Structure 1
Amino acid sequence: MAEAPAAFAWHGGALVETELAPHHALAAADSWYVSPEGRVRALDTHRERFLAATGERMRADAETFWAAAAGRLRSYAGTALFPRVELAQTDSGPQLRLRARVAPRLRTTTVLATHAGPDPRTTPRIKGPDLEALLALRAAAREDGADELVLLRDGLVVDGSTSALLWWRDETLVAPAGDLPRVASVTARSIRLIATATGTRVVEERARPADLVGCEVWSVSALHGITVVDGWIGGPATAARPSRAATWRRRLAALSRPL
């Protein structure tokens, strides 16, 4: 087992441990949860999302980097991780990087707050370019007691600051309309695949926060999996059925595979 998680830059076909400058702009990023047993949900989907974001010119190098990053992460067996891979724009050009981070404490519930300003995202369909700005907004919201911010586009629910939003109308699983711009959530996709496999009806809606009164709302992410919204500061009163979330968490966990 490696001594402690660290940061690495990709140089000459190898991962080199280094100090990473925090101010470099991210062109692409991806992250996922690694259990202490070394298991991950939908890692291939995370891989394809990241490689697509890096672009065709860097595809071959990014593929080699990804394989090396996965190998490095296996050395942290016994530690829960929340690693992040990045394509950063540095003064010397694009740089592939790995942050092997210890996972924060997981939660099963989420308190939401609605972002009051305009949509802060500049590249809403790619994870990375807006990440630091969204993390800063979420950090500010946490000072007011929220775990996640709800992002709106023309008043419609689109996404969370670092999560995807789903909700239930009776036995129907609902997602924001597909034409609303957002990062393709790996966890939301996995949940929708489970829904198809179990015969659960799935629809999409163009919904405002007020339209979700009485709905069970889920904030889902690669880190926390399924969390049930148990509060929405200044937002609608939502409902919860704990047994449903517990069942779907088990289904989602069953998709985990060795890193």
Structure 2
Amino acid sequence: MSNSLVWLAPHEPFPGVEQTWGEGDPIPGLLAAGGQLDAQHLRNAYCQGIFPWFSAGQPILWWSPDPRMVLQVQDFRLHRSLRKTLQRFRATPGCEIRIDSAFETVMRHCARTPRPGQDGTWIVESIVQAYSELHRQGDAHSVETWIDGQLVGGLYCVALGHAVFGESMFAHATDASKIALAALVALCRAQGAAQIDCQQATPHLASMGARTMPRSEFVAQVQAQRARPRMDWRFDAVYWERLGLA
């Protein structure tokens, strides 16, 4: 494979993911730079197993890691401590899960959340604007943890048909982001979505049941799931039962 990075002109199609830099190249997982960042290009990227990830001052960078970290929703590990937290959350007045009531706010909270080993954020203003456009078009969603009328945690994701791609989470209260992730898993189980893309492998995701899978297998799954109708992005309290909560 050549070490020459593909530079995209605006509206130029993405190269095939087989051109992604591998282990012997300067930055494994990097596919291309440049191009256009808007809802349609995001949609085209995700359909092919590609996503943007870059910091302020950098060009748009497009990635397609191989292998890919994926959470099969049936493999989600509901650890004892989180089970107790969810049971308490479910039983406490004023605690609720909302979907899409504060999408851009969730993104901006995610952007401001410090990450171990990271300076600054990849959720730059152009990312906020592009994903907010995708949200307005019905293909990006937020899962939000609310307590007594306050947004205390949440996540946002992309969803094309039944293909779900997790993006980022934040928490301003203990376990608030984990509650949102558990709600997303329950929603996916209820709606028949099989997996949630986690993009990058981390010990935390692995502890919750995510595992790596070959990119070719991942892309084939995305193609099959995106051909299905859009999921119904509403959260019903009965969905908690999908996690075995009485």
TM-score of the superposed pair, with normalisation by structure 1 = 0.26
More strand by share: 1
Structure of higher RCO (CA pairs closer than 8 Å, 6+ residues apart):
2
More helix by share: 2
TM-score of the superposed pair, with normalisation by structure 2 = 0.27
